[in-house]
Amino acid sequence: MGRKVNVIGVGMVPFAKPGQSEDYNVMAAKAIKAALADGGVEYGEVEQAVAGYVFGDSTCGQRAVYDVGLTGIPVYNVNNNCSTGSSALMLAKQMVEGGIVECALAVGFEQMQKGALAGAWNDRPNPLGLHVNVMNDAQGFTSAPPAAQMFGGAGREYRWRYGTKRETFAKVNAKARQHAAKNPYALFRDPLTVEEILASPEVFDPLTRYQCCPPTCGAAAAIVCSDDFAKKKGISNPVYIAAQAMRTDYASSFGDSMIKMVGVDMAKNAAQAVYDESGIGPEDVDVVELHDCFTTNEVLTYEALGLCAEGEAEKFIEEGDNTYGGKFVTNPSGGLLSKGHPLGATGLAQCTELVWHLRGQADDRQVQDARIALQHNLGLGGAAVVTMYRRD
Amino acid sequence: MGKELRFDGRVAIVTGAGQGLGRSHGLLLASRGAKVVVNDLGGSTSGEGKSSESADLVVEEIKRAGGEAVANYDSVEDGDAIVRTAMDTWGRVDIVINNAGILRDKSFKNMTDADWDIIFRVHNYGAYKVTKAAWPIMTGQGYGRVLFTTSSAGIYGNFGQTNYGSAKLSLVGFANTLSLEGQRKNVLVNTIAPFAASRLTEGLLPPAVFDSLKPEYVSPLVAYLCNEENETTGGVFEVGGGFYSSLRWERTKGKVFRIGREVSPEALRGSWKQINDFGETEHVGSLMESLGPIVQNVEAGPSKGGNEFIDVDAALGAKYPERTSSYDERDLALYALGVGAATDPNDDEGLRLVYEGYGGGMKALPTYAVIPGTNAILGFAKEGITAPGLNYGFDRVLHGEQYIELTRPLPLTATLTTKGAVKDIWDKGKGALVVTTLDSYDEEGDLLIKSEMTAFIRGAGGWGGDRGPSADINVPPSREPDEVVEDSIPENQALLYRLSGDWNPLHADPGMAKAFGFERPILHGLCTFGYAGRRVLEKFAPEGNPDFFKSIKVRFADNVYPGDTLITEMWKESDQRIVFQCKVRERDSVVISNAAIELFEELPKPKEKPAAPADAPAAAEPTSADVIAAIDQFLSQNPAIAEKAQTVFQLKLSDPESLWTIDLKAGTAGAGETAKPDVTLQLSEQNYVALQKGEADPLKLFSGGKLKVGGDMMSVNKLEALGEMPFDLVLEKAAARASGASSDAPVAPPVVRDPFAPKLFEALAKRLEEQPSLADEVGAVLQFYVKDPDSKWVVDLKNHPPALKSGETDGATTILTIADADLAELSGAETTPQSLHQRGKLRVDGDVEPAHRLNFLKGLI
Q: What is the pLDDT of residue B700?
A: 66
Q: What is the pLDDT of residue B7?
A: 97
Residue B359: band (very low, low, confident or very high) from pLDDT cuts 50, 70, 90:
confident
Chain B residue with Cα closest to A123: B710
Are B121 and B24 members of one domain?
Answer: yes
Q: What is the pLDDT of residue B714?
A: 64
ipTM above 0.90, yes or no: no
Q: What is the pLDDT of residue B799?
A: 84
Q: What is the pLDDT of residue B201?
A: 65
Q: What is the pLDDT of residue B612?
A: 43
Residue where a domain stops, chosen among B599, B632, B657: B599
Which residues of chain A have a CB within 8 Å of the CB of B710? 122-123
Q: Could you tell me the residue range of the domain that residue B594 belongs to?
A: 323-599
Q: What is the pLDDT of residue B705?
A: 64
Chain B residue with Cα closest to A150: B838
Domain presence at residue B683: yes
Which domain CATH number covers B439? 3.10.129.10
Give A142→chain B minimum CA distance, Å: 6
Spatial CB neighbours of B224, under 8 Å, sequence gap ≥ 6: B5, B230
Calpha distance A269→B224 (Å, rounded) = 51
Assess whether pLDDT exceeds 50 at residue B348: yes
Calpha distance B573→B551 (Å, rounded) = 15
Are B407 and B332 members of one domain?
Answer: yes
Task: Among B713, B837, B845, select the one facing A160 at the smallest CB separation.
Answer: B837
Residue B48: band (very low, low, confident or very high) from pLDDT cuts 50, 70, 90:
confident
Q: Are A267 and A275 in contact (CB under 8 A)?
A: no
Domain presence at residue B750: no
Are B383 and B504 members of one domain?
Answer: yes
Assess whether pLDDT exceeds 70 at residue B613: no
Please, which residues bridge with residue B415 across strands?
B326
Q: pLDDT tens digits for B151-172?
A: 999 999 999 999 999 999 999 9
* Number of CB pairs, chain A paired with chain B, less than 8 A apart: 59
If you write DSSP's letter for every residue of B600-641 in order, what string do you get? -SSPPPPPPPPPPPTT-GGGPPP-HHHHHHHHHHHHHH-HHH
Assess whether pLDDT exceeds 90 at residue A364: yes
Q: What is the pLDDT of residue B727?
A: 81
Calpha distance A35→A107 (Å, rounded) = 9
Angle between helices A295-304 and A264-278 (to 10 degrees): 40
Domain presence at residue B1: no
Q: Are A115 and A374 in contact (CB under 8 A)?
A: no
Are B113 and B262 members of one domain?
Answer: no
Query: What single-letter amino acid sits at B17?
Result: A
CB contact under 8 A, B699 and A141: yes
**Using CB atoms within 10 A of its CB, is residue B521 exposed (0-12), middle (13-18) or buried (19+)?**
buried
Domain presence at residue B405: yes
Which domain CATH number covers B275? 1.10.287
Distance from chain centroid for Cα B587: 55
Assess whether pLDDT exceeds 70 at residue B745: no
How many residues make up chain B in this entry? 861
Residue B789: band (very low, low, confident or very high) from pLDDT cuts 50, 70, 90:
confident
Assess whether pLDDT exceeds 90 at residue B369: yes
Q: Are B397 and B591 in contact (CB under 8 A)?
A: no
Helix (H, G, I), strand (E, B), or coil: what is residue B689? Answer: helix
- Looking at chain A, the whole-number percentage of residues with pLDDT higher than 90 is 91
Which residues of chain A have a CB within 8 Å of the CB of B721? 143
Calpha distance B310→A341 (Å, rounded) = 63
Q: Are B60 and B52 in contact (CB under 8 A)?
A: no
Calpha distance B575→B819 (Å, rounded) = 75
CB contact under 8 A, B710 and A142: no
If you write DSSP's letter for every residue of B55-75 in order, what string do you get? HHHHHHHHHHTT-EEEEE---
Which residues of chain A have a CB within 8 Å of the CB of B718? 143
Are B216 and B280 members of one domain?
Answer: no
Calpha distance B94→B83 (Å, rounded) = 11
Are B173 and B261 members of one domain?
Answer: no
Calpha distance B658→B681 (Å, rounded) = 12
CB contact under 8 A, B848 and A122: no
Return the minimum-mean-pLDDT range out of A163-167, B183-187, B606-610: B606-610
Higher pLDDT, B508 or B802: B508
Calpha distance B623→B286 (Å, rounded) = 61
Average pLDDT along chain B: 89
Q: What is the mean pLDDT of residues B467-489?
A: 91
Q: What is the mean pLDDT of residues A11-19?
A: 95
- A138 close contact with B: CB closer than 8 A: yes
Are B795 and B817 members of one domain?
Answer: yes
Are B520 and B384 members of one domain?
Answer: yes
- B721 close contact with A: CB closer than 8 A: yes
Calpha distance A14→A353 (Å, rounded) = 12
Calpha distance B311→B386 (Å, rounded) = 12
Q: What is the pLDDT of residue A117?
A: 63
Total domain count, chain B: 5
Distance from chain centroid for Cα B81: 61
Assess whether pLDDT exceeds 50 at residue B100: yes
Domain presence at residue B4: no
Q: pLDDT tens digits for B309-345?
A: 898 988 998 999 999 999 999 999 999 999 999 999 8
Chain B residue with Cα closest to A159: B848
Helix (H, G, I), strand (E, B), or coil: what is residue B772? Answer: coil
Chain B residue with Cα closest to A140: B839
Are B594 and B662 members of one domain?
Answer: no
Q: What is the pLDDT of residue B746?
A: 36
Query: What single-letter amino acid sits at A144?
Result: A
Distance from chain centroid for Cα B796: 53
Domain presence at residue B745: no
Return the minimum-mean-pLDDT range out of B324-338, B667-681, B828-842: B667-681
DSSP state of B31: H
Q: Are B857 and B787 in contact (CB under 8 A)?
A: no
For B150-153, the CB contacts below 8 A with 24+ separation are B150/B191, B150/B192, B150/B193, B150/B236, B151/B193, B151/B194, B152/B193, B152/B195, B152/B238
Calpha distance B194→B217 (Å, rounded) = 9
Q: pLDDT tens digits for A127-168?
A: 998 998 899 889 988 878 889 999 999 999 999 999 999 999
Helix (H, G, I), strand (E, B), or coil: what is residue B342? Answer: coil
Which residues of chain B have a CB within 8 Å of the CB of A123? 710
CB contact under 8 A, B714 and A141: no
Q: What is the pLDDT of residue B751?
A: 42
Task: Among A143, A164, A166, select the one facing B720 at the smallest CB separation.
Answer: A143
Q: What is the mean pLDDT of residues B276-303?
A: 89
Assess whether pLDDT exceeds 50 at residue B675: yes
Assess whether pLDDT exceeds 50 at residue B616: no
Are B294 and B339 members of one domain?
Answer: no
Calpha distance A345→B293 (Å, rounded) = 66
3-state secondary structure chain A: CCCCCEEEEEEECCCECCCCCCCHHHHHHHHHHHHHHHHCCCHHHCCEEEEECCCCCCCHHHHHHHCCCCCCCCEEEECECECHHHHHHHHHHHHHHCCCCCEEEEEEEECCCCCCCCCCCCCCCCCCHHHHHHHHHHHCCCCCCHHHHHHHHHHHHHHHHHCCCHHHHHHHHHHHHHHHCCCCCCCCCCCCCHHHHHHCCEEECCEEHHHECCECEEEEEEEEECHHHHHHCCCCCCEEEEEEEEECCCHHHHCCCHHHHCCHHHHHHHHHHHHHHHCCCHHHCCEEECCCCEHHHHHHHHHHCCCCCCCCHHHHHHCCCCCCCCCCEECCCCHHHHCCECHHHHHHHHHHHHHHHHHCCCHHHCCCCCCEEEEEEEECCCEEEEEEEECC
Are B267 and B330 members of one domain?
Answer: no
Domain made up of A6-115+214-390: CATH architecture:
3-Layer(aba) Sandwich (3.40)
DSSP state of B662: E
Calpha distance A180→B113 (Å, rounded) = 85
Chain A residue with Cα closest to B852: A160
Assess whether pLDDT exceeds 90 at residue B244: yes
Picking from B288, B225, B276, the residue whose alpha carbon sits closest to that of residue B250 is B276
Q: What is the pLDDT of residue B466?
A: 87
Domain presence at residue B585: yes
- A205 close contact with B: CB closer than 8 A: yes
Return the minimum-mean-pLDDT range out of A139-153, A317-331, B206-220: B206-220
Give A246→chain B minimum CA distance, Å: 29
- A159 close contact with B: CB closer than 8 A: yes
Residue where a domain stops, chosen among B213, B247, B281: B247
Task: Among A126, A141, A258, select the one facing B717 at the smallest CB separation.
Answer: A141
For B166-171, the CB contacts below 8 A with 24+ separation are B167/B119, B167/B120, B167/B122, B167/B123, B167/B124, B168/B123, B170/B120, B170/B123, B170/B124, B171/B98, B171/B123, B171/B124, B171/B127
Widest Cα–Cα separation across chain B: 120
Q: Are A93 and A6 in contact (CB under 8 A)?
A: no
Domain presence at residue B117: yes
Calpha distance A227→A233 (Å, rounded) = 10
Widest Cα–Cα separation across chain A: 58
Q: Parse chain A into domains and list their residue ranges.
A: 6-115+214-390
- Looking at chain B, the whole-number percentage of residues with pLDDT higher than 90 is 58
Which residues of chain B have a CB within 8 Å of the CB of A141? 699, 717
Calpha distance A351→A90 (Å, rounded) = 11
Are B446 and B564 members of one domain?
Answer: yes
